[in-house]
Chains A and B, each alone.
Chain A
Amino acid sequence: MATQAPTPADSSRRSAFEKEALVHLDALYRVGLRLTGNAADADDLVQETMLKAYRSWDQYQPGTNAKGWLLTILRNSFINEYRRRTRHPETVDVDTIEPFAVFQDIQEEDPQGAFFDKIVDDEVLRAIDGLPEAFRETVVLSDVEGMSYQEIGKILGIPVGTVKSRLFRARQMLQGKLYDYAVGNGYIKGRKP
């Protein structure tokens, strides 16, 4: 098939997409990786997201929140096409999980939580991957990608109040996991059982 020369409309569409959408590839990849849990699916998910986004680029309002728009496409694609085969949907109601309280436990020994600094990247990512999906996606969008509660609520289709309570529980649970890891590795003694 012969390739046709790009029209001026094509090149302006392309340059707008490059400027507003492609700059978010790193963020999309990070979120994709945490959602799918493996690099091969994350690759496909991100690629598919970009293709869908380019196809529906006319629906995007220039200058609005491109990152949020792209992440919404990514998450919808994940739910519709990947979740069933990569991860199992939650069977627990995350909104009823009781929070941990690491801060109270470390009061005597390390109130600033300096022991966290000994924990390497891979271990933190593993701990995030071990969170229930609803917590994982909230914590990734907030703490890793710096999205606002409103943006997160829009991407996940949940009210801001739910974002807030999930984020609270997700952070406490993540702290709990990393604290257990730190105690297990002798980075901190921890409270005697």
Chain B
Amino acid sequence: MKCRECIEHLYEYLDRELTPAVEAEIRDHLSHCPPCGTKFDFEAGFKKFVQARTRAQGCPPELKQRILRELFDE
């Protein structure tokens, strides 16, 4: 696999959208190509960062209570 093709699949790879065979090809390319490896690491880090910064928020308990009352007339 060439760098260009590898980079084209970057997000699909990080999002686990590829077949195991293509994933393996990419892993193989990354192990031999430090520039692609750096780019993949950067994007993987960014994806983790966004998730870590945005998942703390959840449904407020008062809203949950209100919904339960509405649904089940509690």
B-binding residues in A (CB < 8 A):
3, 14, 17, 22, 25-26, 28-30, 33, 43, 46-47, 50-51, 54, 103, 111-113, 116-117, 119-121, 124-125, 128, 139-140, 142-144, 146, 148-149, 164, 167-168, 171, 174-175
Contact = CB atoms under 8 A, between A and B. Distances in A.
B63 interface: yes
B59 A26 contact: yes
B63 to A, nearest CB: 5
Contacts of A164: 11-12
Given A47-B63, A47-B66, A30 B50 contact: no
B71 A125 contact: no
Contact residues of B: prevailing secondary structure: helix
A25 B64 contact: yes
Interface residues of B, number: 32
Contact of B57 (A30, A43, A103, A139): A30
A112 to B, nearest CB: 6
Interface centre among B15, B64, B66, B72 (most CB of A within 10 A): B15
Nearest to B50: A143
Nearest to B62: A43
Contact of B71 (A30, A50, A119, A168): A50
B32 interface: no
A148 B15 CA distance: 8
Contacts of B38: 111-112
Contact of A121 (B15, B54, B67, B72): B54
A165 to B, nearest CB: 10
Contacts of B64: 25
Interface in B28-61: 38-39, 41-43, 45-47, 49-51, 53-60
The 3 closest A-B pairs by CB, nearest first: A26-B58, A29-B59, A124-B53
B51 A103 contact: no
B17 interface: yes
B70 interface: yes
A30 B46 contact: no
A149 B16 CA distance: 10
B49 A117 contact: yes
Contacts of B46: 113, 116, 171, 175
A125 B55 CA distance: 10
B53 A125 contact: yes
Given A116-B49, A143-B50, A30 B67 contact: no
